[in-house]
Structure formats: structure tokens, C-alpha cells
Amino acid sequence: MVRAILLLSVLLGLAWWLHGEQERGRFRRLDEGFLDFLLANARQEMKPDAAKLSDVVLVQIREEDKGEYAAWPPLPIDYQMIVKNLASYEPAVLVIADPLLWPEPKPEFIDSLAQALLPIPRVILAASIRSDGATDDASIKVLRERIPLMSRRNDSGSLLPEARRVEAMPEPALARQSDIGIITHGSANVAVRSNDSLMPSLELQALANAGQVPFERIRVTTGPGAGVHFSDAWFVPTQHNGTWARTDVSLTKVNALDLMVPEVTGTDADLAKVLGKGKTIILGMACDDQGATSKASQCAATAASALALPRVNVLSSTGQFIAWGIAGCLGLLLLLGPKHKAITRALLILFLALTASYLAFQALQVWCPPAIPSALILASGLLVRLFGRRPKDEPTTTCE
């Protein structure tokens, strides 16, 4: 009884100290590593919910309609009319997938377009970069000052391309009130490297804004089990080299021309059914210069499938306290056996506990950070090994 009380007292003090260390982020890597292991074995089962795909709408500027625009490619006045009518449907996020930069002499209505963007809560504009050829440090420095930088990743980031120079930045009048996402030629990277940080892609910016997840809680992983962790509850699988996985989903599409003159085309009622309040809107060209799938289409497909993925549930604070209590009780059970096998029994209990956690995740998509329960079990084994009871001496027999 005395040993049990002493062991319980030590475990309570250790749990309190470990909880404080966890609050300071000391066990983040261990917990994240366990979560990566769980997700690596469940990623094939993570399929988007078809009912949620309509939360993302692709608004296409089609080349076959170019005669209806003021010029081709469209001018600021065209974008202003589209955005102004789009804002009336109260989207939560607007992503413009083509860099809004016009050559000198600058056309009119750039400032008017900036004003039209103000009613939309979150606006993301594209900046085009190159990851090959000569490096232009000056342009990259300007971009770094206008874009959120990420440092949470599980490796050196060598699989991600490096930003070498900026090809096109949004007009300053537009960029001042908007977030910026990176687009690169010929690839769909989650992010690009810049010094010791990562700069988010257009898709990553769209998902962070749509999910309202701050960038300090986003973690990018490459290699086996690659993906993007939006906090501990939302995981989006990617290719091993850090590119977005190709998705084949049914997108909700709208012709941008219908947003310019809905009262003439009679499409206002139809648009109201599609462009409901709180949607994520991707606006851009229907095809690129070579007639291939545009960046807007790629971004919309990635965002739609990612937002429709099931969420991972981390055990609540109360549940974690219960898990710690169970770990402490398992540690007390070690007192029932001899001290010389305490470490072996502790390791066996730990293995069974982690296996149970794995099975619970597979069945319910619920996980518990394992650092503190594991530490309590191992500490119990060590303490019992040092101060547990000795095995009773076997009676000796003598031969006459």
C-alpha cells in the first residue's frame, strides 16, 4: 500500500509537469509523428464527401466570349463588373487565379476594382514565380514582405522547388487589401522554398482562408505520408514530392459573363441557387494560353476536394485527462508483479495501448496525443523496477 501511494504521488506530479511542458509545445514532434503514422495508414480511405463539393464554385472567363468583354485579356473594368455582382451573393472567399497585372500605360478602373473587392471578407490574388533559371533576389524580397511565411515542416524541404524570381505580382492597389498565393509554371506545388521558410501556393492560401486556419498552425510534410496538416483536425494528402494530388471531381461552374449582365441574360435566379452565401469562389480563365486546363480549374478542383475531406477528431481535454488516468492505473498494476520484469511489462502495456489507439483511429477517426500517457507508463515501469517489491525467496530443500 505504501508503494502504491508513493507511486501515485510521483505520477500525479509527473503528469502535472508534463502537462505544463505540453502547453509549451515540448512534445509537439512526438505527437505529430504519431499522427503522421496514423494518417499514413488511413489516407487511402479518405474520400471527399460529394455533398460538400458544391461549397466551391468555379467562375470561368471563357475565350469564346471575348467579344463581349471590353478587351482581351479582360481589363480592370471587366473584373470590376464581375466582382461587383459577385459580392452581392456574399461569398466567404474569392480567389482570382490569374495575376492581375496590366502593362503600361495602366488602364483605367484599377482603383475601382480595388473598391469592388472590399465587401468580400477574404480575397486572394495570384503571383506568378519561376523556380528555374537565374535568381532575382530583389523581386523575391518584395514578395516575402507581402506573403505569409511558414516554417513548420517535417524535413529540409528539399523536395519542394525554390522560388528564384517573380514573373508577375498583382497591381499594388489590389495587393494592399488582399492575400497573395503563389502559382508556378508547369507544376502544382503546395508551397515553394525561400531561404528557411515556405511560401504558400494559391491553393494553400485558398484552403487556409476557407477553413479559417492561421498559418502558424499549418504543417507541410513531404516524402512518405506527405500532406498538409491544417491544425490537428484536417489533413489533405499530397504527392510525395509536395505537389497537390490530382483530383477528378464534379465542379460547380458559372460563366463569368453571366455575372456581368445577369439582368439581361436572365440568369440571376439560377446564379442565386449556385452562388449561395459563404461559398468559396475561384475566378479565372477557362483555359490557359495553350488551351490546357487553367490554373483556376486546377485550384477549384483541389480546393473542392480538400474542403470535402473528412476531419480528424483529436480527443477533447477531458478525454485526454481520462486517458492519463487510465495510463496511471496501468502503471499501478505493475506493482502486482516482481520488480525485475517491470520494464518488460511496461513496454508490453505501452504497445497494447498504442495498438488500441491505432484501432480507435481506424474505426472512429479519433486520436489522442500519446506523449504524456506513454511517459506515465514508462515512468511507472522504471519506478517499480527501482523500488518495487522483491520476489519472495523460494523455500529450500535439503537432501538427507
DSSP string computed for 307-359:
HTSPPPEEPPHHHHHHHHHHHHHHHHHGGGS-GGGHHHHHHHHHHHHHHHHHH
Mean pLDDT computed over 325-332: 84
Instruction: Name the more confident of 385 and 396.
Output: 385
Q: How many other CB atoms sit within 10 Å of the CB of residue 281? A: 25
Whole-number pLDDT of residue 61: 93
- Using a pLDDT cut of 70, give the percent of the chain over it: 89
Classify residue 186 as left (phi > 0), alpha (psi -120 to 50) or beta. Answer: left
pLDDT-based confidence at residue 204 (cuts at 50, 70, 90): very high
What pLDDT, in 10s, does the model give residues 245-302? 887 888 899 999 888 865 544 456 678 778 888 999 999 998 865 556 789 999 999 9
What is the grid cell recorded at 27?
512534445
Instruction: Name the more confident of 206 and 400.
Output: 206
Q: Is 3 helix (H, G, I), strand (E, B) or coil?
A: helix
Whole-number pLDDT of residue 157: 53
Question: If we measure between CA atoms, which residue out of 252, 263, 180 comes closest to residue 215?
Answer: 180
How many Cα neighbours within 13 Å face the side chain of 124? Answer: 29
Whole-number pLDDT of residue 17: 76
Q: Does the bond joining 200 to the residue before it have cis omega, within 30 degrees of 0?
A: no
Task: Produce one character per residue of 317-353: b if its CB has 16 or more CB atoms within 10 Å, e if not.
Answer: eeebeebbeebbebbeebbeeebebbeebbeebbeeb
What pLDDT, in 10s, does the model give residues 341-373? 888 888 999 999 989 888 888 888 888 888 888
Average pLDDT score, the chain: 84
Whole-number pLDDT of residue 5: 74
Question: What is the domain partition of the chain in residue ranges?
Answer: 2-42+312-387, 49-307
**pLDDT of residue 397 exceeding 50:** no
Q: Highest mean pLDDT: which of 148-157, 268-277, 325-334? A: 325-334
**pLDDT of residue 156 exceeding 70:** no
Whole-number pLDDT of residue 77: 93
Specify the pTM.
0.82
Mean pLDDT computed over 97-121: 92
Rg (CA), the chain: 28
pLDDT-wise least confident of 79-83, 99-103, 201-205, 221-225: 221-225
What pLDDT, in 10s, does the model give residues 55-76? 999 999 998 988 888 888 899 9
- Asked whether the beta carbons of 298 and 95 are under 8 A apart, the reply is no
- Asked whether the beta carbons of 377 and 330 are under 8 A apart, the reply is yes
Instruction: Name the more confident of 333 and 180.
Output: 180
Q: What pairs with residue 236 in β-bridges? A: 228
What is the grid cell recorded at 7?
507511486
Sequence-distant (6+) residues with CB within 8 A of 140 are: 129, 163, 164, 165, 166, 194
pLDDT-based confidence at residue 307 (cuts at 50, 70, 90): very high
Sequence-distant (6+) residues with CB within 8 A of 379 are: 10, 11, 14, 331
- Using a pLDDT cut of 90, give the percent of the chain over it: 29
Whole-number pLDDT of residue 92: 94
- Rounded CA-CA distance 215/152 in Å is 9
Angle at 112 between CA 296 and CA 104, to 5 degrees: 75
- Asked whether the beta carbons of 56 and 282 are under 8 A apart, the reply is yes
What pLDDT, in 10s, does the model give residues 21-48? 666 667 777 888 888 888 877 777 788 8
Whole-number pLDDT of residue 394: 42
Element (H, E) at 12: helix 2-23
Q: What pairs with residue 367 in β-bridges? A: 314
Q: Does the bond joining 148 to the residue before it have cis omega, within 30 degrees of 0?
A: no
- Asked whether the beta carbons of 305 and 123 are under 8 A apart, the reply is no
- Asked whether the beta carbons of 227 and 221 are under 8 A apart, the reply is yes
**pLDDT of residue 53 exceeding 70:** yes
